[in-house]
Each structure stands twice: as C-alpha cells, then as structure tokens.
Chain A
C-alpha cells in the first residue's frame, strides 16, 4: 500500500508565537533576533510584513533595519516556543502515532493507517489546519505526498494556512533544484555548472552521472528528486536513536583574525567535546571542523583517524590539520567555529604503537584529559584552564559544555 505522509510546517513559528500574545504586532513588521551584545544578533524569524520588506532569516539586525527602518525587534522566548511546539505535537498524535519532528516547528506525520478511521486525507489535513488555528492560534502549511522529501517540498510550496499535494514528479518538476532537501549553496552551484537547474533535470539524469559529480550524496539526491525516499516516519515510542555525533560550536565574542585566536577557541571546544565523549563512554574516529566567516558562509571539512580515540588533543590536532590541508587563511575573519566527532563506537584501541612504528603518547594525554575532567567536575569549569586562554580572557570566557544549546539534527544525521 502506498504511504501517505504529511509534512506540517508552522508558519514563521517564533514570530507567530510572539504575535499570538501581542496581536498588535500583526500589523507592523516584526522580527525575532538574538542578543546583539553577545554577537548573536541575527534574525531568527520574521512576520509576513517584514518578509515583504525583504528581511531575511540569518541576516544581521543592522542589515534588516537598513531594509526596513521601522522593524520591531523582539527577543526570543524559548520556553514558549517549546511549550507550543509540544502542544501542536500533542494535537498531531490525535491523528497518528507516527510523528517525527524535524526541528521545533516541523513534523512528519505518517497517516497511512489512520485514513480508514478518519475517512479521507482531506478530512485529516483540513482538520489539523482548522484545529491548530482555532485551538492553538498558529497557522501551518501542510505538504501531502507518498514520501518524506516530497511532503517537505509540498509544505514549502503551500501558502500559509493551506496544503499542497504532490502525487507525481510533474507537480514539482519546474522547481529549482535547491528547493530539495540536501541541496545547499555549494551543491546547487555545482549542479548548475553541469546544467542541472531544476528538480526535473536532477530526476531525469542518471544515477551514475550524479554520483560522479557529487559522490555518494549525488545518489541520494537522485532518490530524493524522484521521490524514492523510503525512510520511515518514526513512531513516538521508538527508542531515542543512539548518538551519532557529538559536537560544540560557538559564535565568538569577537572575530577570529589569526591562528592564535583560532587555536584558543578550538582548544576550549575540543576540551568540551572530549569530556562529553567521555561522559557517554564512547570513542570517535572522524573529526569535523566547521567555520563560518564574516560573510556568514559556512565551510565544513572532515577527516578520519586511523584508530579510535577519546582524547581532546587528537581532535585539536586533527582540526588544525584540516585547517591547513584545506589551505584556509584569515583573509576573511571567522565569526563562528564548530567541532564535532562522529563514527562513534564503544571500542577502545589497544595498540600502543602506530602503523609507522612510533610509540604513541596517548597514555600520557589520556591521563591529562582525565585529570582535567576530574578537577572540573569537583571545582567547576573555570578552576582549570589552558594557558592559551589567558591570552585573551574575553574570547576564552565561555563554557560550551554546560552552556551549549542543542540544535535540530540534520536529516542525514539520523
């Protein structure tokens, strides 16, 4: 039997919750933005009027104000967002037990088996739209399809407070390829350089061709464009998935201008990641480094070690190596930096000698890591710090381990 999957996307979620409690904000351009003092001053969400004025998510407050001088800026209220996100999810559960959230404002619902009970897809979709609006006071767009990827596409196409059905490729073939989940800026540029502009182009090209251009992701993309994504919508009582990766990132208090700045922040992040790895009792093999420059462009790179490790120093050295082998420089200063490790397992490597016959110093490093971890556990985070962090105390004064915020995981991270 064909699956019926809905993708429910709450319209400008953060802004809508704000407007729910302050109806007067409905008639003025308004945006939610982080705290500019901590350099988190970017637009997180905006209402329809602000969108019309050209305000975009993720741009700086001053950029937004240039476009729209009378823009009202509100601070985010994460407690409310969590509350409403849960309320909406509770409502979804009245229609199916297969609800999988993707961030706070998006959910996939698999209603294949509830249609018999409720009568029709139309009944369920219209009921969800009406009830969320009446009972909770928020509006949503729903995409209806037979797979998760097309359903998500449908919710992007659907206007506010309405739904859009995608049943065959012809419904979406003229959309640009970057509307597909998994096609970001760089992938899209690459696709364009091969003459693949629309979803149709991607869907009709051969799987091998895409694999040649984009590697493994190309293959996935072909499946996505053709709607062959077979992944299931998770049930509410499915076990929380095992941890796939652990990472920390930070938007630093000032831009990073040279290698010393980078090392300083990197050191703190690596310490944090290593101690979280230790708490989970895991070992990693792959290290990812992501950097965002002042122009807000992200770059991510990764490298695998020969053997599993749980040391902070391995993350640190590999991250620096990644920076060097990718020939990165500081022509454009960096404003955010993130480190994560993946390929996790609970198997420890026992060999003391590496492939080149060198004796590894990991035992010494390991003792150091454990000692730092113990001291911090007993006397607090700032009781022991790296000497490097004294070079610029302000830049180093953050504690990623305890102050970190969890962001939604990526589709591929599952």
Chain B
C-alpha cells in the first residue's frame, strides 16, 4: 500500500470544524463524500504518516480513511490502484 496525497474540497464552518465534502481524483473527477462516520487522531501503520483520520463513506457505499496531516490530505491506496 502507498500513501497518496490528494486534493480535497472542504467546508470550514463557523465553529471551526473542517468537513471534507469532495475528493478530487487523478482525472479531475469530484467524488462526493456522503457521510463521515468517525473522526479521531490515528497513525496509518500501513502507509506511514499520522494525523486526524476521517472515516468517510463515498457514494458507492465504499468506506475509506482520509487523513488530515499538517494541512495536507492523504489516502491509503492499494498498489494496483496507482
């Protein structure tokens, strides 16, 4: 598995929360994030790196972890998906 940094469109609300809304994929596709199940500080042992881990549900009901590490977002990616 590899760590892949991605562009993310977020909502910064008045209370100061940051909620990721869309993930922008390689081909400029905007993938909507339907729901965030959990936010917690975590290290990713699989791909390395740590930060706030958002457990996101995408539109095809797939669940992925999105990490927010010092201002950058990254996802854990299977090697065959690169």
Contacts and interface: CB of A to CB of B under 8 A. Distances in A.
B50 A137 contact: yes
B43 A137 contact: yes
B45 A23 contact: yes
A135 B47 CA distance: 14
B30 interface: no
Interface in A13-51: 19-23
A137 B40 CA distance: 13
B70 A137 contact: no
**How would you classify the secondary structure of chain A's contact residues: helix, strand, loop or mixed?**
helix
A136 B70 contact: no
Interface residues of A, number: 12
Nearest to A18: B48
B44 interface: yes
A133 B44 CA distance: 10
A135 B42 contact: yes
B70 A83 contact: yes
A135 B51 CA distance: 8
B40 A135 contact: yes
Contacts of B3: 21
A134 B43 contact: yes
Contacts of B46: 23
A85 B25 CA distance: 33
Contacts of B50: 20, 135-137
A134 B42 contact: yes
A19 B70 CA distance: 17
Interface in A120-140: 133-138
Contacts of B49: 20-21, 137
A22 B43 contact: no
B47 A23 contact: yes
Nearest to A83: B70
A21 B48 contact: yes
Contacts of A134: 42-43
Nearest to B69: A21
Interface of A: 19-23, 83, 133-138
19 contacts: A20-B43, A20-B48, A20-B50, A21-B3, A21-B48, A21-B49, A22-B48, A23-B46, A23-B47, A134-B42, A135-B40, A135-B41, A135-B50, A136-B41, A136-B43, A137-B43, A137-B48, A137-B49, A137-B50
Given A83-B70, A137-B45, A137-B50, 12 more contacts: A20-B48, A20-B50, A21-B3, A21-B48, A21-B49, A134-B43, A135-B40, A135-B43, A136-B43, A137-B43, A137-B48, A137-B49
The 6 A-B residue pairs with the shortest CB-CB distance in the complex, in nearest-first order? A137-B43, A135-B41, A23-B48, A137-B50, A21-B48, A136-B50
